[in-house]
Structure 1
Amino acid sequence: MEISFHGAAGGVTGSCHHLQIGERQILVDCGIFQGEGDIAKENAADFGFSPKDIDYLLLTHAHLDHCGRIPLLVKRGFRGEILCTAATRDLARLVMLDSAGLAAEEAKRANRRASRHGDELQEPLYEVQDVLDAMDHFGRLAKYDEPIDLCPDITVRFGDAGHILGSAWVHIEAVESGKRQSFVFSGDLGNAGKPIIRSPSPAPEADVLVMECTYGDRLHKAMQPSIGELRDAILDTLERGGNAIIPTFALERAQDLLYFLREMIEAGELPKQLPVFLDSPMAISATEIFRRHSECFNATTGKIFQSGVDPFALPNLHFTRETAESMQINLIKGGAVIMAGSGMASGGRVTHHLKHNLWRADSSVIFVGYAAQGTLARRIIDGAKTVRIFGEEIQVRAKVHTIGGFSAHADHDELLHWYGAEQRPATTFLVHGEDNGREGIAKVLRERNLRYHCPVIGDHYSL
């Protein structure tokens, strides 16, 4: 048996892990790279293995950095079966279609520049048809804690990762040449006590454990104080007469925020008729998918939903799908909460809202999620006085808030809680984290005298 790493090894995006068991080849996730560097080149590069030789792809969840290169995998020859939960399948379709649209737009912009300078034209990473082709390979749907036989000697079980709707860790049990081994891939693990979905279920025992450590070096703020910070930031912005811009991830974060805003309005903590704009076609569609998958809700939200109350409905909520509607929002000078993607402000409609509000001292920008190095969000958070948006230098005069308690990722203590105090895998691989995040967990494993590795892309290990 052999494991190799082809993404999210030394970084936090592009998750892609390859497992060779006898003649069978299994891939866990196939995500897109994001952030700084020559991302287009990284995403278009060879996978590091032959797509046509992969028998099964186990998809942990639908975030772009875990599913975003699946259409390219199919385009380059993958003909195997993709297994995931029902909610992940529905969300992944949405995310990949959106990615295809963005890729087409980026290629058009690049080709306009290339035409002016006589440079080589660029092909999009993949197109809508490639996404539709990829969907044909989604096969059996996993239910939490129910084993699936991939083949006579390999069984897989999906457990609740508590990260986003439908997210899972995967437990693989395999026999090769009479030797039995078990593997656990964490995917991305969630914060405990989230408002909509359940907390992560603990890791099962395994010989080999592959664990994310995005926030392995830090602790999050508690949820309740973070909700209070969000409320106070909005009230402060309304008092100053500006708009509150919230760069928002379309999956989970947008729905969590709608849930909290509904609670605040019902409690009288925010004005009942506060205009709230969800300016993200993908977030709007994702919210509809959430409503279809109440089987993933925790007990509290499940009861609310079953009682006939929509947990995502606000009195003055506006869903803006069309570009023209989005442009109209920029005419609003104050008094609105504007939620738009992307969460790292690396593209999407939020960049337009930042262009129109970032220079205004009466407005606010409220970051409620992770911002990778090289993104516009990280530059603003790190205190840039000016930022370039659409080729224009924009002064940063708006009040900037960073609220960490809403993270969809487990922090240092929660990662170790999931790992378990008595967990004794033969080997642990630390992935999906920058150096500080991985070292935060590695330090604890050293203290426990446990064997671990911090792989980089392209590393292979015999098991």
Structure 2
Amino acid sequence: MIDIKHHGAVTGVTGSCHELVVGTSGILIDCGLFQGEEAGSSANASDLSIDFPISHIRALVVTHVHIDHVGRIPYLLAAGFEGPIICSEPSAIMLPEILEDALKIGFTRDRALIERVLGLIRSRLVPVPYEQWHSVFDGKDESLSVRLQRAGHILGSAYVECEAESDGEFERIVFSGDLGAPHAPLLPEPQPPERADRVVIESTYGDKDHESREERRYRLKAVLEHALEDGGTVLVPAFSIGRTQELLYEIESLIHEFGSDEVAPDLPWRDLEIVVDSPLAATFTRIYRDLKPFWDAEAAELVSQGRHPLSFEQLTLIDSHEDHLNAVDYLTKSHRPCVVLAGSGMCAGGRVVNYLKAMLASERNDVLFVGYQAKGTPGRDILTHGPRGGWVEFDGQRYDIRARVHQVGGYSAHAGQSDLVRFVTGIEPAPSEIRIVHGDAGAKESLKSQFHSAGLTGIMIPGLV
């Protein structure tokens, strides 16, 4: 028997956790946290304990290190999981960093306990090079090997090919994880797998396409120039891994191209200050710099020319909490144009909340969203109600939104609808089964319709089981 079960990311876009059963054994693909409304929409979302059997689970395969894909790993270990954690080489470096932050925020402040958990995680990590088959188990009647391929979502992201055998039955099953958009900064775009009998595909943007790289780059330029003309702060809620680094890459390119042009009155682009106020984002920006061999050819060429797209002179990284509070106070009172990237990306916590509390009421400030905002998050509320002068709630208190609100959707780290269709239709022969997960209901239905129009069959939208 070869079967697929879903333990998350089927009624929404968070909590990714899928199970591949091969005979009497199995593996998990990701084990992530639920966020936003999804954090209270079902029993296993509000209770972080692992509520499904794991005694037969032989390994956990991590597609990438975003918290909605890895955040429940400590709870998986607490439930008794003793197998390896298989991931790409960059993910093996980043996973302990992201989980350390998650443990401090949502698990415990006990430093000794955190170190024990991180030590256990590090001991279980099995870094696997891209494009190389790795045997998970190989028995008389059942076997499973996995291969990681570049997904182009964030550094280290992968989709997973599974070669399974059970009682003479053979199948190639592909789990997409989160796929990146083509032509994204820094990372090569994903290529379809050579073959697949079944595919589990994400659908975050299954109902829409993104702007082209050139369109979004110049729209970013136009938004920044418009936002900064009155001496305010542009606040960009950004995910610490992936989005922050891509934005820095694009902003550096704008500074390089338009250095002497004015981004604001009497302020040339080359003098514009860019602030990254997030210890985690600063850490991952340094890790990204250290992992240049995994960058794409375009980024490598810039480095060879002496450019430093993630370490340019206009960039300031804020680490300490005291410096963070000083920056919020200074930028709130001054009229110095500045761009601040701060986490979290959906405004559900982190340092961006202090900026928003202090700055949302001023019309000279701007909020720029560049990523998906899940239902039930403050980010979604600001995006929805901000343009109409509404309010958002933080820590039980309402804050009026007078700042201008913008969205440049092309900077999503997720593939758009056409990209997802291209990925699946690029598999020949076509898969016999396609399971659509990791999306809102409308996005999944829209993607299903596009798959039908492309002549694909066997399309399923599973429910939470």
Q: TM-score, normalised by structure 1?
A: 0.91
Question: Hey, what does 1:119 align to over in structure 2?
Answer: none
Question: Hey, what does 1:386 align to over in structure 2?
Answer: 391
Question: Hey, what does 2:30 align to over in structure 1?
Answer: 29
**Structure 1 counterpart of 2:457, one-letter code:** L
CA contact (8 A) 2:289 2:310 kept: no
Offset from partner CA, 1:228-285 (integer Å, 9 cap, x none)? 2222222222211111101011111101111111111112254212121100111111
User: How far apart are 1:204 and its partner, in Å?
Assistant: 2.9
CA contact (8 A) 1:205 1:423 kept: yes
RMSD: 2.0
- Closer/same/farther in 2, CA of residues 363 and 4 from structure 1, 3 Å limit: same
- Closer/same/farther in 2, CA of residues 266 and 445 from structure 1, 3 Å limit: closer
Question: Hey, what does 1:310 align to over in structure 2?
Answer: 308
Residue aligned with 2:385, SS:
coil
Rounded to whole Å, the distance in 2 between the matches of 1:45 and 1:292 is: 34
Question: Hey, what does 1:191 align to over in structure 2?
Answer: 181
Question: Hey, what does 1:149 align to over in structure 2?
Answer: 135
Rounded to whole Å, the distance in 1 between the matches of 2:38 and 2:14 is: 12
Match of 1:133 among 111, 120, 126: 120
Match runs of 1:415-454 below 5 Å: 415-420=420-425, 422-447=428-453, 448=455, 450-454=457-461
User: How far apart are 1:424 and its partner, in Å?
Assistant: 1.6
CA contact (8 A) 2:277 2:351 kept: yes
Q: Number of matched residues? A: 440
Question: Hey, what does 1:234 align to over in structure 2?
Answer: 224
User: How far apart are 1:151 and its partner, in Å?
Assistant: 2.5
Question: Hey, what does 2:3 align to over in structure 1?
Answer: 2
Rounded to whole Å, the distance in 1 between the matches of 2:239 and 2:11 is: 23
Match of 1:62 among 44, 65, 73: 65
- Of 178-187 and 227-236, more deviation after overlay is shown by 227-236
Residue aligned with 2:270, SS:
coil
- Of 82-91 and 231-240, more deviation after overlay is shown by 231-240
CA contact (8 A) 2:29 2:61 kept: yes
- Of 260-269 and 186-195, more deviation after overlay is shown by 260-269
Rounded to whole Å, the distance in 1 between the matches of 2:38 and 2:420 is: 28
Match runs of 1:277-316 below 5 Å: 277-316=275-314
User: How far apart are 1:179 and its partner, in Å?
Assistant: 1.4
Rounded to whole Å, the distance in 1 between the matches of 2:36 and 2:231 is: 33
Residue aligned with 2:180, SS:
coil
Residue aligned with 1:383, SS:
helix
Residue aligned with 2:36, SS:
coil
User: How far apart are 1:47 and its partner, in Å?
Assistant: 3.0
Residue aligned with 1:156, SS:
strand
User: How far apart are 1:53 and its partner, in Å?
Assistant: 2.9
Rounded to whole Å, the distance in 1 between the matches of 2:118 and 2:56 is: 20
Rounded to whole Å, the distance in 2 between the matches of 1:457 and 1:129 is: 33
- Of 36-45 and 255-264, more deviation after overlay is shown by 36-45
- Closer/same/farther in 2, CA of residues 386 and 455 from structure 1, 3 Å limit: same
Match of 2:405 among 380, 392, 400: 400
Rounded to whole Å, the distance in 2 between the matches of 1:231 and 1:254 is: 16
Match of 1:102 among 105, 108, 115: 105
User: How far apart are 1:104 and its partner, in Å?
Assistant: 4.7
CA contact (8 A) 1:445 1:451 kept: no
Rounded to whole Å, the distance in 1 between the matches of 2:83 and 2:371 is: 34
- Closer/same/farther in 2, CA of residues 446 and 263 from structure 1, 3 Å limit: closer
Question: Hey, what does 1:115 align to over in structure 2?
Answer: none
Match runs of 1:210-289 below 5 Å: 210-267=200-257, 268=259, 269=261, 270=263, 271-289=269-287
Match runs of 1:359-370 below 5 Å: 359-370=361-372
Offset from partner CA, 1:21-61 (integer Å, 9 cap, x none)? 12321111111111115549725344342334311111111
Offset from partner CA, 1:56-90 (integer Å, 9 cap, x none)? 11111111111111111011101001111111112
CA contact (8 A) 2:342 2:351 kept: yes
Q: TM-score, normalised by structure 2?
A: 0.90
User: How far apart are 1:220 and its partner, in Å?
Assistant: 1.1
Offset from partner CA, 1:331-375 (integer Å, 9 cap, x none)? 222311111000111110001001111110011100111000011
Match of 1:341 among 340, 343, 354: 343
- Closer/same/farther in 2, CA of residues 37 and 88 from structure 1, 3 Å limit: closer
Offset from partner CA, 1:130-161 (integer Å, 9 cap, x none)? 3332222112x221211112223322111111
Residue aligned with 1:136, SS:
helix
Rounded to whole Å, the distance in 2 between the matches of 1:130 and 1:38 is: 23
CA contact (8 A) 1:71 1:133 kept: no
- Of 269-278 and 160-169, more deviation after overlay is shown by 269-278
Question: Hey, what does 2:355 align to over in structure 1?
Answer: 353
Offset from partner CA, 1:303-353 (integer Å, 9 cap, x none)? 223455322122221111100011111122231111100011111000100
**Structure 2 counterpart of 1:179, one-letter code:** E
Rounded to whole Å, the distance in 1 between the matches of 2:131 and 2:167 is: 27
Match runs of 1:38-57 below 5 Å: 38-39=39-40, 42-57=45-60
- Closer/same/farther in 2, CA of residues 221 and 75 from structure 1, 3 Å limit: same
Q: Which runs of 5+ in 2 are unaligned?
A: 264-268
CA contact (8 A) 2:50 2:79 kept: no
Rounded to whole Å, the distance in 2 between the matches of 1:449 and 1:394 is: 48
User: How far apart are 1:295 and its partner, in Å?
Assistant: 2.2
Question: Hey, what does 1:93 align to over in structure 2?
Answer: 96
Residue aligned with 1:182, SS:
strand
Question: Hey, what does 1:116 align to over in structure 2?
Answer: none
- Closer/same/farther in 2, CA of residues 177 and 38 from structure 1, 3 Å limit: closer
Rounded to whole Å, the distance in 2 between the matches of 1:383 and 1:314 is: 35
User: How far apart are 1:19 and its partner, in Å?
Assistant: 1.1
